[in-house]
Structure 1
Amino acid sequence: MQRILQPGDIEALDRTNPQRIRLPHPAQVFAERAARLEQKADGNPIGDYLRFVAQIVKAQQKAAANVQTAAPDAAQIALAQAHSMPLLPAANHIDPVWQDVLIQLLDELDSAANVPDALKPTLQSLRTMRTEDRNTLARRVLVGLLTESADLAAAPIVMAALQVVFADRASKLQESDVPYTDPATVCPVCGTPPVASVIRIGGRDAGLRYLHCGACCTEWHMVRIKCSHCESTKGVKYQKVDGSDDTVLAETCDVCHTYRKISNQEKDPFAEPLADDLATLMLDLLMSETAFARASINPLLPMAEADAAPEDNA
Structure 2
Amino acid sequence: MTASTHIRLMTPEEIAVNAGPRAAPLRLPEPGLFADRALRLRQLAQDHPLRDYLLFAAELAQRQHDQLKQARPLALPNESDLAEAMVAGVPPLDILAPARQGAWRDPWRTECRELLQHLTTAAVPPPVQALAAELLTLDDGALERQAQALLAGGGPGLDPAAAPLLAAALQLHWVRVVQQLQARYQRSEHSEHLAPFGMIDDPTVCPCCGSRPVAAITRVAAEMSGQRFLACSLCATQWHYVRIKCTHCQSTKGISFRQLVDDEGELPNEAVQAECCESCGHYLKQVYMEKDLQVEPLADDLASLTLDLLVGELGLVRQGFNPLLVLGEPEAGDDRPPGAAPPDPGGH
> Which residue of structure 2 lines up, in the alignment, with residue 158 of structure 1?
166
Amino acid at match of 1:245: N
Deviations 1:50-106 (A, max 9, x none): 000111111100111113323322111111111111211114432521112112222
2:153 alignment partner in structure 1 = 144
Partner of 1:130: 139
- Tell me which residue corresponds to 2:248: 229
How far 1:45 sits from its partner (Å)?
1.0
1:1-314 correspondence runs (5 A): 15-25=20-30, 27-66=31-70, 67-92=72-97, 93=100, 94-117=104-127, 119-148=128-157, 151-174=159-182, 176-242=195-261, 243=266, 244-303=268-327
Q: 3-state SS of the aligned residue for 1:238?
A: strand
Post-superposition offset of 1:15:
4.9
Aligned pair in 2 of structure 1 residues 123, 34: CA closer, same or farther (>3 Å)?
Answer: same
> Who wins on radius of gyration, i.e. which is larger?
2
Aligned-pair distance for 1:143?
0.9
- Residue number in structure 2 paired with 1:8: none
Identity %: 37
Please say which of residues 252-261 and 228-237 is displaced more in the overlay: 228-237
SS at match of 2:161: helix
Q: Please name the residue that 2:5 is paired with.
A: none
Aligned residues between the structures: 292
Q: Are residues 202 and 108 of structure 1, via their aligned partners in 2, closer, same or farther at CA, if it must alter by over 3 Å?
A: farther
What letter is aligned with 2:114?
Answer: Q
Which moves more between the two structures, 62-71 or 157-166? 62-71
Structure 2: 5+ residue runs without aligned partners? Answer: 1-18, 186-194, 331-336, 339-348
| Cα RMSD (Å) | 2.2
**Structure 1, unpaired ranges of 5+:** 1-13, 309-314
Instruction: For residue 116 of structure 1, report the CA deviation from its aligned partner.
Output: 4.6
CA contact (8 A) 2:217 2:229 kept: yes
Q: Shift in Å at residue 208 of structure 1?
A: 1.1
CA contact (8 A) 2:25 2:199 kept: no
Question: What's the secondary structure of 2:176's corresponding residue?
Answer: helix
Q: TM-score, normalised by structure 2?
A: 0.78
In structure 2, what is the Cα distance between the partners aligned to 1:169 and 1:257? 34
Letter of the 1:202 partner, please give it: A
Residues 38 and 62 of structure 2 are in contact (CA less than 8 Å); yes or no, is this contact kept in structure 1? yes
Q: Which deviations, in whole Å up to 9, do the C-alpha atoms of 1:137-161 show, x marking residues without a partner?
A: 2112211344347x22111111100
Q: Is contact 2:26–2:198 with CA below 8 Å preserved after alignment? A: no
Residue type of the partner of 2:275?
E
